[in-house]
């Protein structure tokens, strides 16, 4: 009887031990999930940033490694990080959002060759904050010949519902902006350059992707030739209606558009040549003629134009940037930064 009780006791101890081990493993899993290692999205007290470093395998290398940092905002410490290899160092290769990191990556890339071998491709990838990534869209590839499906630029909506891509190039019949659903990867809207120029002959040029409105409803972009902007457009994702606005005199590539109010910074008479010696000659000529540099804000909806600042310095670029919906920061020739408040 004692022997049987001992066997029963040992059995109970083993069962309890197994349950304890299982509970501990499950608790560790929950702890990892709660700490964000398995969560797809950032928590309320977290924010993400990134750092890009060249691989430096050759001169002019386009390939880099990105490190994504997840920070605890309350404690002001880096909680964790992960690396993404083969990042293409184009103008905007990475976008950080609450539930994902979107990045352009290169594969089978040879930095010592201008023309890549068969097998080369570049893609947009999506990573969650556990460091797990998946390919989202193929931008271009080299098979028998090089095929470009989309340009290496994109904009993801703040709610991560849509992504905007540029298809083709100016002069092609199908040159257009394409908006895809991020979940289904299906095209939900296409805006062709030809459809705009047929209705607005003065608005011709390349698409420039600007930004999404804070409420995710509108996407804004511009159409430009070199440094000069010919027009702006706004796409409404609720009904896919597109508003087209002809750009006023003084709209440049560096003009800042407040996408919430429609106010645009402009400098009428501004000239950009790309050559410093030519610009110095123009400045000297304009000084003799008594020309000034003026900064205005222009409302695309109402066509209202308000003077913000002036200077005797010809061809001065004010570097005006909206810091809020009602505050515009700009720089004077003496280096002083000023704030204009919109009433």
> Is residue 172 included in any domain, yes or no?
no
pLDDT grade for 13, boundaries at 50, 70 and 90: low
Phi/psi for 181 (5° steps) reads -80, 125
Mean of pLDDT values over 101-116? 93
| pLDDT tens column, 120-139 | 999 999 999 999 999 999 99
Which of 9-18, 25-34, 263-272 is predicted most confidently? 263-272
| pLDDT tens column, 40-54 | 799 999 999 999 998
SS3 13: helix
Going from the C-alpha of 162 to that of each of 57, 94, 98, 238, 312, the distances in angstroms are: 35, 16, 14, 12, 46
Short-list 288, 284, 283, CA closest to 269: 283
| Angle value at C-alpha 157, between 153 and 161, nearest 5 degrees | 115
Listing DSSP states for 262-330 in one string gives -EEEE-TT----S-HHHHHHHHHHHHHHT--EEEEEEETTT--EEEEEEESSTT-----EESSSSEEEE
| pLDDT tens column, 288-306 | 888 999 999 999 999 999 9
**Taken in order 154, 142, 132, 179, is the CA torsion positive or negative?**
positive
The domain total for the chain is: 2
> Is residue 294 included in any domain, yes or no?
yes
pLDDT grade for 35, boundaries at 50, 70 and 90: very low
Query: Hey, how many other C-beta atoms are within 10 angstroms of the C-beta on 237?
Result: 18
For the chain, what is the mean pLDDT?
89
Q: Which residue has the higher pLDDT, 18 or 165?
A: 165
Its domain, for residue 322, covers 249-343
| pLDDT tens column, 73-95 | 999 999 999 999 999 998 889 99
Domain boundary among 102, 117, 152: 152
Confidence check: pLDDT of 59 > 60: no
> Is residue 75 included in any domain, yes or no?
yes
Contacts of 13 (CB under 8 A, 6+ apart): none
Entry pTM: 0.82
> Is residue 202 included in any domain, yes or no?
no
Query: What per-residue confidence (pLDDT) applies to 2?
Result: 44
Domain boundary among 112, 133, 152: 152
Structure tokens that stand for 96 in this block: 């950080």
> Is residue 315 included in any domain, yes or no?
yes
Domain boundary among 152, 167, 201: 152
Short-list 313, 318, 315, CA closest to 332: 318
> Is residue 147 included in any domain, yes or no?
yes
> Is residue 264 included in any domain, yes or no?
yes
Short-list 232, 214, 215, CA closest to 224: 232
**Eight-class DSSP state of 131:** S
Give the CA radius of gyration of the chain: 27
Query: What per-residue confidence (pLDDT) applies to 31?
Result: 36
Gap between the Cα atoms of 246 and 241, Å rounded: 17
> Is residue 177 included in any domain, yes or no?
no
**Taken in order 42, 44, 46, 48, is the CA torsion positive or negative?**
positive
Query: What per-residue confidence (pLDDT) applies to 25?
Result: 45
Gap between the Cα atoms of 251 and 263, Å rounded: 12
Query: What per-residue confidence (pLDDT) applies to 38?
Result: 44
What percentage of residues in the chain have a pLDDT greater than 70? 87
């Amino acid at each position: 009887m004692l022997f049987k009780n001992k066997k029963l006791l040992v059995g109970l101890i083993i069962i309890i031990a197994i349950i304890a081990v299982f509970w501990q493993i499950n608790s560790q899993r929950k702890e990892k999930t709660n700490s964000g290692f398995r969560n797809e999205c950032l928590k309320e007290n977290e924010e993400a940033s990134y750092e890009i470093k060249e691989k430096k395998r050759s001169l002019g290398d386009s390939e880099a490694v990105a490190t994504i940092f997840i920070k605890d905002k309350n404690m002001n410490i880096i909680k964790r990080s992960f690396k993404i290899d083969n990042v293409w160092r184009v103008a905007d290769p990475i976008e950080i959002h609450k539930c994902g990191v979107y990045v352009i990556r290169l594969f089978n890339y040879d930095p010592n060759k201008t023309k890549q071998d068969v097998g080369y491709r570049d893609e947009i990838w999506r990573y969650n904050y556990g460091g797990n990534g998946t390919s989202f869209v193929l931008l271009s590839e080299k098979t028998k010949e090089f095929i470009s499906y989309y340009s290496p630029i994109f904009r993801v909506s703040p709610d991560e519902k849509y992504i905007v891509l540029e298809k083709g190039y100016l002069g092609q019949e199908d040159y257009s902006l394409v908006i895809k659903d991020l979940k289904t990867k299906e095209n939900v809207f296409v805006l062709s350059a030809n459809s705009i120029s047929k209705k607005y002959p003065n608005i011709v040029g390349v698409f420039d992707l600007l930004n999404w409105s804070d409420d995710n409803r509108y996407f804004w972009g511009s159409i430009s030739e070199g440094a000069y902007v010919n027009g702006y457009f706004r796409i409404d994702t609720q009904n896919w209606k597109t508003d087209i606005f002809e750009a006023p005199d003084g709209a440049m590539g560096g003009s800042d558009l407040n996408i919430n109010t429609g106010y645009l910074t402009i400098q009428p008479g501004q000239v950009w040549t790309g050559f410093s010696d030519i610009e110095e000659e123009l400045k000297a000529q304009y000084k003799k003629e008594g020309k000034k540099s003026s900064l205005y804000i222009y409302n695309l909806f109402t066509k209202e134009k308000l003077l913000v600042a002036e200077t005797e310095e010809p061809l001065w670029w004010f570097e005006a940037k909206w810091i809020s919906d009602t505050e515009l920061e700009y720089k004077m020739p003496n280096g002083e930064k000023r704030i204009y408040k919109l009433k």
